[in-house]
Amino acid sequence: MAFCIFAQNVEIAMKKYLSMIKFSHTIFALPFAILGFVLGLLKSEMTMDWILFLYVVLCMVFARSAAMAFNRYIDRDIDQSNPRTAQREIPSGAIKPKSALAFVLVNSLAFIAVTYFINPLCFYLSPVALAVILGYSLTKRFTFLCHLILGLGLGLAPIGAYLAVTGAFDWIPVLIGLGVLFWVSGFDIIYALQDADFDQEEGLFSIPSFFGKKRALFISRCLHFCSSMALGGALYLVYLQLPSIMWLLLVAYLLFSGMLVFQQRLVSPTDLSRVGLAFFTTNGIASMAFSILVITALLFA
C-alpha cells in the first residue's frame, strides 16, 4: 500500500513537471537535432552509434527542460499577473519556486555531464549553449529581440548534434540551424501576439508590444521567408553532393515552406482565435515532416 501511494505521488509530480516544461513542445527542435546527427554520420562515414544517439537525445531533453523551467521560475511574478498564464504550475502553487530552481540546476548539470562523454568540443561549448538558452528568459525585460534569442537556442540543436558526431562545423548544419532560428523566431512572434497589450502595460519587450500587431505579423512573415531560404540553401548543398535524392528534398522543402504560409494565414491582427493551431499543430507537422523526409532521402541515397 505504501509503495502504491509513493508511486502515485511520483506520477503526479512527474505530470506537474512535464506540464511546466511543456514536454510535448520538444517536437519542434528534436527532429532537427536528429537530422543533424544523421548528417554527421554520413559526413564522417560512421555506422550508427546508438550510445552517441542516446547522448544527443539526453542533451536535448536536459537542455530544454532546464531552459523551460528557468523561464517559468524567472517569469513567475509576471505569469501570476497575466490572466492567460496565472494557472501555470508555479503561480498556482502546484510547484514551489525553489523546487523549480533545483530542477533547473539538476538538468543543467546533467546536460554538461552528458556532453563530457560526447567529445571535448561539445563539453567546452556546453556552458555557452546554456548561457543562450537560459539567458533568453531575461531578454524580454530589455529588448524586443528576445524572439531571436529563443530561435538561436533551438537553432543550436542541429549544429550541436552534428558536432557530437564529427567534432567539426559545416555549412549544411549551420544553414539548417539558421533556418530553425528564423522559423522559431517567426512563430514565437505569432504566439506573443496574445500578450501584446499586457506586455505594453507591464513594460515588457516583444516585437508585438513594440511595433504593434500588424507590423509584428509582417516581421514574422519576413523571418519565415528567411527560414525558407536558409533551409533551401542547406538542401541545395545536400543536392550537390547527392543529386539522386533531389525529388525528396524538393518535397520536404515545399511542404515545410507551405506549412509556414499556412501558419501565417491562420492569424491576423484582429483574429487570434487560431494561434494555438498556428503555434503547435502546424509547427509540429512542419518539423516532423521536413526532418523525416530529408533523413529518409539521406539514408536511401
Segment 140-150, tens digit of pLDDT: 999 999 999 99
Distances (CA, A) of 254 to 17, 250, 260: 37, 6, 10
Domain around 35: 25-299
The C-alpha atoms of residue 278 and residue 294 are separated, in whole angstroms, by 23
pLDDT the model gives residue 69 = 94
* 280 in a structural domain: yes
* 16 in a structural domain: no
* 164 in a structural domain: yes
Beta-carbon contacts of 128 under 8 Å, excluding residues fewer than 6 positions away, are none
Instruction: Find the CATH number of the domain harbouring 63.
Output: 1.10.357.140
pTM, two decimals, is: 0.93
Per-residue pLDDT 10s for the chain (301 aa) are 665 665 565 666 778 877 787 767 777 889 999 999 999 999 998 888 999 999 999 999 999 999 999 999 999 999 999 999 999 999 999 999 999 999 999 999 999 999 999 999 999 999 999 999 999 999 999 999 999 999 999 999 999 999 999 999 999 999 999 999 999 999 999 999 999 999 999 999 999 999 999 999 999 999 999 999 999 999 999 999 999 999 999 999 999 999 999 999 998 888 888 887 777 788 888 999 999 999 999 988 7
* 13 in a structural domain: no
DSSP string, 184-206: HHHHHHHHHGGGHHHHHHHT---
Number of domains into which the chain is organized: 1
